[in-house]
Structure 1
Amino acid sequence: MMNTIDFIRERSEFMPLWERATTGVRMLRDKLPTELLYFDTIDLQTQKFFELVQKLLALEGMTDFATLVLKPDPFDYFNFHFGKYPGFIHRAENTDDEFFEFLLKDPGGSLADSLGTNSEHYIVMPLSAKWIAFGDRSWGTGVLYGPPDVMECAKSFYPFFIVPPKGFRIDP
């Protein structure tokens, strides 16, 4: 079966997602540590984390979600070198295998720049719901934040939340 997930190629499609993602990261900086759930950034590439995303989407009656890389710079680095944007949309018809395969897809002559390899800061978020997952690989730590029902669902479903490292903060 052919993978139908692809990089976002149009600036007009990427910009609204990027704006929501960067607004979400700014919002996360203002949250108390007790308001967030923490995870290891490598979890993005695990089946259980993918199932968590699916569970949270289902809770809100959604199916589609976006995965974006915010660092390295999507514009001056990724788009400049590859003519596309470091993000994709996983739709209801896509499988978990396609998701994991796409995370390691070569963006064009540079396998080291796959989203799963070269993503210091990444975001996973539904296309229209109110939760967000942010990963900072320099800390090895990610955070999940959403409305109370989302947070309760996540806590009861996902057994791999962690205590953040001492001094952890969400940087720009």
Structure 2
Amino acid sequence: MAENKVLFGLTNVHYAVITEGTDGKITYSTPVAIPGAVELSTDPAGETSSFFADNMVYYEASANQGYEGTVNIAKLPQSFRIDVLGETLVNGGLAESANAKPKKIALLFEIDGDKKADRFVYYNVSVSRPGTSSKTKEDSTEVNTTELSFKATPRADGWIKWVTGAETPQDIYDNFYKSVVEPVDTPSA
């Protein structure tokens, strides 16, 4: 299959909660859909530092600390608020406690392309609690969205993200949202 020339759109945002074992090994829950994806953007995190000698840049080092980003969702589902943010269902409503411990997640999503959608997974994501905003209805209805700020940092093994490509095996592509794909080559059949 040929590579995409362009990418556009956003769909199929999912999260998978991380569980860390006593040995430090992490596992992921089955990905859960977050419907209503509006926008997602990331910026690289980390710096480049230069060491000068002999009147020039003698050595340059860069630190890849992952990404910082935001994702806008039409309305954050209750499952995400409970599973990830640690809110509690009380009397049919959600209660937030200062003692809640948010959980890290893998963040999965896809961006469509002219040939085939690219599917992304960020492996070690921390999200910030979202705020609330709204305004009065005027002549037309303006839909509110929820913005989540997040940081995708390297796992202990160094992996940050993985993106499907033109040579991704069809079974991995088709099962992308059934479990978090690890960055390990699978043997050819």
Same fold? TM cut 0.5 = no
With structure 2 as the length reference, what TM-score do the two structures score?
0.26
Q: Which has the higher helix share?
A: 1
Please identify the structure whose Cα radius of gyration is greater: 2
* Larger RCO of the pair (alpha carbons < 8 Å, separation 6+): 1
With structure 1 as the length reference, what TM-score do the two structures score?
0.28
Q: Which has the higher strand share?
A: 2
